[in-house]
Amino acid sequence: MATFLHRVAHWAFRRRRTVVLVWVAVLAAVFLGAVNSSEAPEDSASLPGIESQQAFDLLDERFPGTVADGAQARVVFVAEDGQRVTSTANRSAIDTLVDEVADGPQVAEATSPFDARAVSEDGSTAYATITYKTTADDLSEAGKEALTEAVEQARDTGLTVEVGGSALETEPAQGIGEVLGILVAAVVLLITFGSLAAAGLPLLTAVLGVGISLAAITALGSALGFSSTVGELAMMLGLAVGIDYSLFVVSRYREERAKGHHAQEAAALAVGTAGSAVVFAGLTVVIALLGLSVVGVPTLTKMGVGSAGSVLVGVLIALTAVPALLGFWPDAVLSRRDRTGRRRTRTRRPGRFGRDGKGATPAGTARTPWGVRWARFVTRRPVAVLLLTVVGLGALAVPSLNLRMGMPGAESKPATTTERRAYDALADGFGPGFNGPLTVVVDVKGADDPAAAVTGVSDRLADTGGIVSVSPPHFNEAKDTAVVSAVPSTGPASEQTQDLVRTIRDERPAIESATGAEFQVTGTTALNIDVGQKMQDALAPYLSVVVGLAFLLLMVVFRSILVPLKAALGFLLSVGAALGAIVTVFQEGHGAGFFGVQETGPIMSTMPIFLVGIVFGLAMDYQVFLVSRIREAHLHGEQPGQAVVTGFRHSAQVVAAAALIMMAVFGGFMTGGESMVKMVGFGLASAVFFDAFVVRMAFVPAVLALLGKRAWWLPGRLDRLLPRVDVEGEALTRRAPTPHDASGDDDRKESVRV
């Protein structure tokens, strides 16, 4: 592997113009494809294999001409203090709104609150239900404007009018996540490298990779069903890993130049060593992302495929475009001190940088890097550090035991939105469960008396504890299917409502036997339960596939059993702590205000498995980059403790910079207004922090120090079976030419031959 990548980098450095032109051509081609492509589809809510989805499918089949998930607006009217919505003036204003909306485009039905008995007992609140012939995504601007104008006219009469439902759903405020992430990354890179060119090169290549990936996803959106969400995730991950992968190659290039290698050989050695780590780190991320297909949720599968493609583009750019760009400006990425040193070396003292790889100033003046000081501290106290990290991360993970999963609804929106105000008004006027009714689809195709069968189901539902009311049944034209709405006494996100759904389903066999009708329960609450259960059931096989494949990959890379096992255990600690932090902030509300979280509630159902998949791949990045340098030192004959120190000398600062960049990219997405995006950004940023700065910087060196040489043990039979991949570049070390920098002629020739 290292030898092959060494040759690739040599070719890319020599043919730098060709390489850059090829990447520009690729960007232009996919951009043209994106411009001429059909509009990307919206996110699909279809979740095959769950009861709620089966109920929606049955509604589509038995109620032709209607859309089970069609757009709906619930217009809520609240009278002024002391008044009633049934007064003559208020009733006239409400009827006028319903009549005007009913004549609007794409409206299937507009039901007056006075016809549907949708008036609260005290007469202060009422609501009108507007259903549309199409989904919310396909609702025309004319249809939205008609509803908005009617609402404004009703407000002018003195009524408080708010609109819930999907028809006029408020778009979340856009954050500055991408810009903030790039700015922070630029600052971190500048501090790390001390060179504008070295800081700008990873940013340039990452933006190139993201541009290619987003354009490709847009171009293939219609054919493969990639939605805008796929592009957002691919952009987030592509930007993070693109910067990191280029960062490691540039860092190793500077290190090889400090040893005295000329530019072309330094670039080839950097790609042959750090590039090998990039390949295997990228493969672990791709495995984790493609593993999302195991879950069986089409949306997650597409997000995984699109993001995996973005990561692969980042890997290819790091292996080819980075050495090519280094060929144009071989000295620009060096720090000012190193460039000054090179000029002095050419005229005064050859070999000033020495061959120790440190680029140190004259003896007695070099400062010990913080990574070395920290590694020495850990290797001297491995037991204490190990216990502290395990206990600390374990304590942070404890809140995750109280994890409640669901999907964010209107209750999670800011109070400034009309959806949230409508939600609160309905809860005040009709009870908390009114915002989460259970939709029961009754199939009476095989019943002798369909009407009696539906009545029997309705009566049994009404007698169930926790049900406040049951609506009259609504039959289809064939009279073989009816829809009944049951209102719980508790809110849609409460555990009592979830228990109620389970109770109804548990009692279903007895009800169906007594009535001769079959029924299914759907609606927001039932859907949340089904999705959460599906995610929970899929987590174990997903972990088995992803961790198993990654374990084999790491075993090949490090030729060890205990090192991959340690990597997996450390990953579980970081993910557990991240989940605990998410529950603490977004569910329990501790510190929610500091992070801009206005409302707390259950954790998004897809969040745990999504977090596991993404973070596993990113965690293995740090594992490969850090431990490969430790193993490299070990292969060169250093004792285990000293090998840890040497590995940290060369990689701790770069790993820390990479982690800070990823945290900035992920954390920047918390600046948006969408609660779900905030949760994803916070979860990924906290997981990267725990994994990079606690697990990889403390847990890993402590375990390696305790294991000693046993960490690199591999059974003889397994050693013969596994393929050998030279990630550390041992073959390159044996064949590398003697570093020289006597006159700088090679570098000068390379820099002008463009």
What does the H/E/C string look like for 257-302?
HHCCCCHHHHHHHHHHHHHHHHHHHHHHHHHHHHHHHHHCCHHHHH
519 bridge partner residues:
442
Q: What is the rounded average pLDDT of the residues 199-227?
A: 84
Give 62-89 pLDDT, tens digit per residue.
887 665 566 788 899 999 887 898 899 9
Single-letter code of the amino acid located at 26 = V
pLDDT range class, residue 672, cuts 50, 70, 90: low
Residue indicated by tokens 């199409």: 134
Cβ atoms of residues 742 and 350 within 8 Å = yes
pLDDT attached to residue 729: 61
Question: Could you say which DSSP state residue 80 is in?
Answer: P
Strand 72-78 with 160-165, pairing:
antiparallel
**Three-state SS at 214:** helix
Q: What is the rounded average pLDDT of the residues 584-600?
A: 79
* pLDDT higher than 70, residue 337: no
Q: Token pair of 358, please?
A: 């440190």
Q: How far apart are CA 38 and CA 40, in angstroms?
A: 6
Give 523-572 pLDDT, tens digit per residue.
877 888 888 788 878 877 888 887 787 788 888 888 889 988 888 888 88
* pLDDT higher than 90, residue 398: yes
| Phi and psi torsions of 176, nearest 5° | -120, 35
Q: Specify which of 168-172, 192-196, 234-238, 313-317 reaches the highest per-range mean pLDDT.
A: 313-317
pLDDT attached to residue 618: 74
Q: How far apart are CA 334 and CA 604, in angstroms?
A: 45
Q: Token pair of 482, please?
A: 């009816």
pLDDT range class, residue 342, cuts 50, 70, 90: low
pLDDT attached to residue 18: 94
Dihedral over alpha carbons 65, 66, 70, 76 (to 10 degrees): 130
- Name which of 298, 274, 383 is nearest 2 in CA terms: 274
Which of 174-188, 292-306, 391-405, 532-546 has the weakest average pLDDT? Answer: 174-188
Cβ atoms of residues 128 and 111 within 8 Å = yes
pLDDT attached to residue 66: 61
SS3 readout for 630-670? HHHHHHCCCCHHHHHHHHHHHHHHHHHHHHHHHHHHHHHHH
pLDDT attached to residue 673: 56
Residue with more model confidence, 452 or 533: 452
Cβ atoms of residues 271 and 5 within 8 Å = yes
**Three-state SS at 224:** helix
* pLDDT higher than 90, residue 323: yes
Q: Token pair of 587, please?
A: 């569910």
pLDDT range class, residue 748, cuts 50, 70, 90: very low
Q: How far apart are CA 643 and CA 43, in angstroms?
A: 49
Question: Could you say which DSSP state residue 116 is in?
Answer: T
Q: For the chain, how far is it from start to end, CA to CA, in angstroms?
A: 28
405 bridge partner residues:
603
* pLDDT higher than 90, residue 173: no
Would residue 161 be called left, alpha or beta, if left means φ above 0 and alpha means ψ between -120 and 50 degrees?
A: beta
- Separation of CA 293 from chain center: 15
Single-letter code of the amino acid located at 182 = I
Q: Specify which of 225-234, 385-394, 415-424, 498-507 reaches the highest per-range mean pLDDT.
A: 385-394
pLDDT attached to residue 750: 40
Average pLDDT, the chain: 81
Q: Token pair of 448, please?
A: 């002798």
Q: How far apart are CA 301 and CA 46, in angstroms?
A: 12
Cβ atoms of residues 699 and 195 within 8 Å = no
What Rg, from alpha-carbon coordinates, does the chain have?
Answer: 31
Let me know if 582 is exposed, middle or buried by CB neighbors in 10 A (0-12, 13-18, 19+). buried
pLDDT attached to residue 392: 94
In this prediction, what percent of the chain has a pLDDT beyond 90? 20
pLDDT attached to residue 716: 82
Q: What is the rounded average pLDDT of the residues 641-658?
A: 86
* pLDDT higher than 60, residue 356: no
pLDDT attached to residue 193: 75
**Three-state SS at 308:** helix
Please list the alpha-helical segments (H only) found in 507-561: 508-515, 524-558
Single-letter code of the amino acid located at 346 = R
Cβ atoms of residues 377 and 661 within 8 Å = no
Q: How far apart are CA 460 and CA 482, in angstroms?
A: 15
Q: How far apart are CA 212 and CA 126, in angstroms?
A: 52
pLDDT range class, residue 353, cuts 50, 70, 90: very low
Q: How many residues are listed for the chain in this entry?
A: 754
Q: Token pair of 138, please?
A: 């396909």
In 3-state terms, the chain is what percent helix, strand and coil (to 5)?
65, 5, 25
Q: Token pair of 579, please?
A: 């989940």
**Three-state SS at 226:** coil
Q: What is the rounded average pLDDT of the residues 590-607?
A: 77
pLDDT range class, residue 198, cuts 50, 70, 90: confident
Give 685-712 pLDDT, tens digit per residue.
899 899 889 998 999 999 999 998 888 8
Angle at 384 between CA 380 and CA 389, to 5 degrees: 115
pLDDT attached to residue 749: 42
Q: How far apart are CA 493 and CA 739, in angstroms?
A: 66
Dihedral over alpha carbons 549, 551, 552, 553 (to 10 degrees): 90
